[in-house]
Structure formats: C-alpha cells, structure tokens
Amino acid sequence: MTSQTVMTIDDSAAILTIIAAYLEDSEFKVIASERDGRRAVEVFREIRPDIVLLDLIMPGQSGMETLSQILALDPDTCVVMVSSLGTEDAVHQCLSTGARSFLQKPFSRDAFIDFLRNLENQPQNPRIES
Amino acid sequence: MSSMFFGHYLLEQGAIQREGLLNAIERQRNTNRPLPDIAVGEGLLDQAKADQIHAMFRVSNSSYEDLCISEGSLSRADVERLSRIQSTEWLRIGAALVKGGYLSDTALTTHLEDFNAIDSAQQSTLESEFNHLEESIIVRACTDLTLRHVARMTGAPVKLQRIDPSNGTLRQGFRRFAQNIVGDRDFCITVDLGDPLFSIAAKGMLGVEVDPASEAARDAGCELINLIGGNACTQLEPQGYTLRPEPPFSPDNSGPDQEERPSIRGAALAGDDHFELNIFIDPP
C-alpha cells in the first residue's frame, strides 16, 4: 500500500498524541504536528504533506484562517477539518472554503483510518460514525 | 440544604472526615469492576479484547453491554449474567466507609434513611422546577455528552444541583464537575468524579497516568471541554438552537472575551478538581 504523509494541526497536545498513536503502523506517516495555526502555515510551506488534518476551533489563528492560508499556498492540498463541532454551518463553511472533508470528533482508530483510506472516494463525507 | 451526594452529606453532618471519604472512594474504585473486566475474570474474554472494548467505550456512544456483545462476541445471556455479578459485588459509598472503619453499620443505616428522605424530596422538587424550563433541553444534552465523554469512565453519579444565588457559585464540595446555565437560572448539573477531572481526561484519552498539574493533563481537560461543547452544538442545531463553542481557556491561556453571545465555553484550572462548562443560550 502506498504511504502518505500527514501533517496534524491542533491546539490540543492530547489530540496530536492520539492521532499519532492511531496512525502508527498504518500507511499514513505523521511528518509534522503543530499546535499553532500561524506556525503551521510556515511549516506547511516547507514540507508539503499529502494530507493536512486541521482543527477548526483553536485559540489565536482559527482553523478557517489556517485553511485559507494553506490553500492559498497550494489549492490542491487535501485538508481534512477535524472538530468536535459538526453543525451544518461549520461543515458547509469548511467545504465551501476548500477543505476536502470534515471529520467530527470523537472517532475510533479503525473508523479514522477507514476514513483516510476512503478520502479519494468520498471527498465530501462530512461525518463518520465511531 | 442543597441536594447532594451521600458522601458529602455525611461530611456536612460531621459523621465522617474528608480523609475517610477519599479513602472510601479509592476503595470503590479498586472494587467496582466494569463489565469487560468481570468477563475476563469469568474466562469469557481475554485481556486484549477487554482492553479493546475499553478503548472503544471511550470513543463511542455504545454501552459496555452492547460492546461486549458486538466486539466480544458474548451472548445477551452472558452479559446479563455478568451484570448480575457486577451488581452483587458493587460497593456503594456507605458500605465502603463501613469497610474502611470510618462509619458504623448502625450510623450508616440511620444516616442513609435520613439522607434518602431529604434527597428524594429535594430532587423531585428540583426536577419539577427544572423540567419546564426552555434551557432544560440544552442542559440535558450537555449532561448526556458529559456522561458519554467523562462520567461513564468512572460510573460517577450525576445530580441536579442548585447554585447558591447569593454569589452564583456552587456549594463547596460540589464543584468537581459542573455545567452551569449562565443567566438568572440557579441550576447546574454536577458529576462527582472523586478524582481530578484532568487526571481522568488524560487517562481516558491517552491511556496513561499523568501528573494532574502537567500540561498534558491540562490539554486533555481542555479537549474534553471542546468535545462536550462542540458535540452539544451539533446535537442541538437540528432543534433550532444556535450555539457557538469557544476554545477552552485557563488562566495561562487567554480565553474568549466575556461578551455574552450564544456560546458554550469552558473554564478549567490544571491540577484542580474544579471545572465549569458555561452555557450561554440563544433559544429558538
């Protein structure tokens, strides 16, 4: 199976740890984890991962601002918004700005990996069942 | 007197000391086993499968009963038998205090009778006052999410409490985990965790024990607030309620402004057992 590089952006170190643990031993390799949106954009500019997992609600620079800046650098980037907030408005705003998909927390490891594997097939699936 | 948990009632009555209560809670924790652990003891599950069910329980909406059946391939009859074992060996706080030598059998019986009489009358009054409020639907949803994300890990009891109207705060001893309705309502939901929230959150999320005062514990606690707030907004949206979650904050992490717009926000202190989820409401 082809390996894909992943960058995770979340203000919560707990979530970054959980995602890294979930993706261990999978075909998805976490190459960067950032807790600040502004700093994450700078790192993204250098590393250009295949997939960006981006938190929506963050103190400081928000997930939406970070999404816009990443897509301004590379409009084809596969950005998945990851949030505990899954309202229609939030999902619509993210997808219309250019996010590939939207994943609502919490989620199990198996559901998470299945979701990432199906990203190409289900480009606008807003939620998964854990 | 506000409605309260039995252990705190005994404390207030001077029947026990705080140390005794903490020891009894610890004894409960060591005695009361969740269903997967009982299943391991009965030879119905291996430890790896039980660990997998614990992990799924933390991130799913399913009960232990359902997970034991769907993931552990146990029959409904097996689960019912395990539940009977669990209820037989389940140690309640009063019994834990007696076992620890902090309370006599006679004192337990007397205090329990008094407590039950007072508590059931007060809960009934509080519930009837509360249930007709428009906000109750929001608080119920948040309580459900609290139970899903936090309290079910420990089997902690949940109660409706009344905030002290003189200063807007909960009575001492009831602040372990509270969901306040901010405004002129003096109700809140409390969950008595018996442990610092952040320790529980970190262990539940990361699977390891961490220092409650550490940044990892604070992060886990804040993420927990995010989960409850975000999921509550999502759940309530179809019912016409528009709420907006704010990033969690603590004294060393500048929080949202205090403007009262529709929002759910949390405040937490790392290492402390004090947590509040404030709900600012914009009814439909």
Q: Is B268 helix (H, G, I), strand (E, B) or coil?
A: strand
Which residues of B are less than 8 Å from A108 in CB distance? 55-56, 59-60
* Ramachandran quadrant class, A107 (left: phi over 0; alpha: psi -120 to 50; beta: rest): beta
Out of A11, A86, A108, closest to residue B247 by CB: A11
* Shared domain check, B209 and B148: yes
Could you give the CA distance from residue A19 to residue B17 in angstroms, rounded to a whole number?
Answer: 43
Domain presence at residue B165: yes
A80, pLDDT greater than 60:
yes
Q: Do B205 and A18 touch (CB under 8 A)?
A: yes
Tell me: do B208 and B159 sit in the same domain.
yes
Q: Into which CATH architecture does domain A4-117 fall?
A: 3-Layer(aba) Sandwich (3.40)
Judge if B78 and B158 occupy the same domain: no
Both B66 and B193 in a single domain? no
Nearest CA in chain A to B225: A84
Q: Name the residue in chain B with its Cα closest to that of A110.
A: B56
Would you state the pLDDT for residue B117?
A: 87
Give B264's strand partners. B245, B279
Judgement on whether residues B157 and B260 belong to the same structural domain of the protein = yes
Q: Is the pLDDT of residue A30 over 90?
A: yes
ipTM of this model?
Answer: 0.71
Residues B51 and B176 in one domain: no
In a domain, B127, yes or no: no
A88 touches chain B (CB under 8 A): yes
E strand segments, chain A: 4-9, 28-34, 51-55, 78-83, 101-104
Domain definitions of chain A by residue range: 4-117
Shared domain for B13 and B98, answered yes or no, is: yes
Number of neighbours of residue B259 by Cβ within 10 angstroms: 7
Q: Are B176 and B199 in contact (CB under 8 A)?
A: no
For residues B84 and B140, membership in a common domain is answered with no
Mean pLDDT by 10 residues, chain B (284 residues): 69 90 85 90 92 71 81 90 89 92 94 86 64 55 57 50 50 42 48 56 65 71 70 69 55 40 46 49 44
C-alpha of A66 from chain center: 11
CB-nearest partner of B230 from A85, A109, A130: A85
Check residue B278 and give its pLDDT: 53
More confident residue, A97 or B170: A97
Q: How far is A27 from chain B (nearest CA, A)?
A: 21
Q: Cα separations (Å) of B270 from B180, B204, B249, B257, B263?
A: 19, 16, 10, 20, 22
Residues of B (167-226) whose Cβ lies below 8 Å from A: 201-202, 205-206, 215-216, 219-220, 222-223, 226
Mutate to test the interface with B, among A8, A12, A128, A129 (most CBs of B within 10 A): A12
Domain identity same for B101 and B142: no
Considering the domain architecture, whether residues B103 and B174 belong to the same structural domain is answered as: no
Domain residue limits at B88:
6-111
Tell me, yes or no, whether B137 and B274 share the same domain. yes
Would you say residue B121 lies in a domain? Answer: no
Residue B142 or A103, more confident: A103
Number of domains in chain B: 2
For the record, the structure tokens of B87 come out as 């209820």
Q: Which residues pair with B162 in a beta bridge?
A: B187
Q: Region A123-129: what's the mean pLDDT? A: 43
- Cβ neighbours for B144, distance < 8 A, ≥ 6 positions apart: none
